[in-house]
Chains A and B, each alone.
Chain A
Amino acid sequence: MDRRSFLRLCALAGLAPSAVLAASHAQPRMLQMNGYPINAETPLELLTDYLTPAELFFVRSHWLPRMPDPKTWKLTVDGDVAKPLTLTLADLKKLPRAEATCVLQCSGNGRALHNPTLPGVQWRYGAVGNARWSGVRVRTILEAANVKPSAKHLHLFSSDDPPGKVPPFRRSIELEKALADAIVAFEMNGAPLPPQHGAPLRLVVPGWAGDHWMKWLVRISAQPQPQTGFYMDTAYRWPNNVGAPGVAFKPEEMHPVTELFVKSNITTAPASAHVGTPVDIRGFAFSGVPDIAKVELSDDDGATWRAATLDPRHDPYAWRLWSYRWTPKRTGSAMLFVRATDIKGNSQPREAIWNQSGYLYNAWHSATIEVKA
Chain B
Amino acid sequence: MTFLAFLLAALPTLGTQFKQLPAGKGKAQVEAACYACHSADLLAQQRLTAKQWTATVEKMMKWGAAVQPADKQVVIDYLAKHFGPANKFTPTATKPVGK
Contacts and interface: CB of A to CB of B under 8 A. Distances in A.
Given A31-B92, A122-B45, A63 B97 contact: no
Pick from B4, B55, B98 the residue with the most CB of A within 10 Å. Answer: B98
Interface string B1-39: 011111111111111111110000000000100011111
Contacts of B99: 26-27, 55
A296 to B, nearest CB: 30
Given A34-B38, A38-B10, A27 B95 contact: yes
Nearest to A162: B63
A23 B97 CA distance: 12
Interface stretch (A6-14, A175-183, A329-337): A6-14
B38 to A, nearest CB: 6
Interface string A152-182: 0000000000011111000000000000000
A190 interface: no
Question: Interface residues of A: mostly helix, strand, loop or mixed?
Answer: loop
Contact of A40 (B19, B38, B62, B94): B94
Contacts of A25: 95
B52 interface: yes
B interface bracket (residues with beta carbon within 8 Å of A): 35 or more
Contacts of A119: 46, 48, 52, 55-56
Contact of A28 (B3, B8, B16, B94): B94
Nearest to B53: A119
B41 to A, nearest CB: 5
A33 B41 contact: yes
B46 A23 contact: no
A interface bracket (residues with beta carbon within 8 Å of B): 35 or more
Interface in B82-99: 85, 89, 91-99
Pick from B4, B13, B55 the residue with the most CB of A within 10 Å. Answer: B13
Contact of A30 (B7, B36, B64, B97): B97
Given A30-B93, A33-B45, A34-B42, A1 B18 contact: yes
Nearest to A31: B91
B30 to A, nearest CB: 12
B12 A32 contact: no
Given A29-B95, A117-B85, A166-B63, A195 B46 contact: no
Interface of B: 2-20, 31, 35-42, 45-48, 52, 55-56, 62-65, 85, 89, 91-99
Interface of A: 1-2, 5-6, 8-9, 12-13, 20, 23-41, 43, 54-57, 59, 61, 63-67, 112, 116-119, 121-122, 163-167, 194-196
Given A36-B38, A164-B36, A194-B98, 17 more contacts: A20-B14, A24-B94, A29-B93, A32-B16, A32-B41, A32-B91, A32-B92, A35-B10, A35-B18, A35-B39, A36-B16, A38-B10, A43-B93, A64-B5, A64-B6, A117-B46, A119-B52
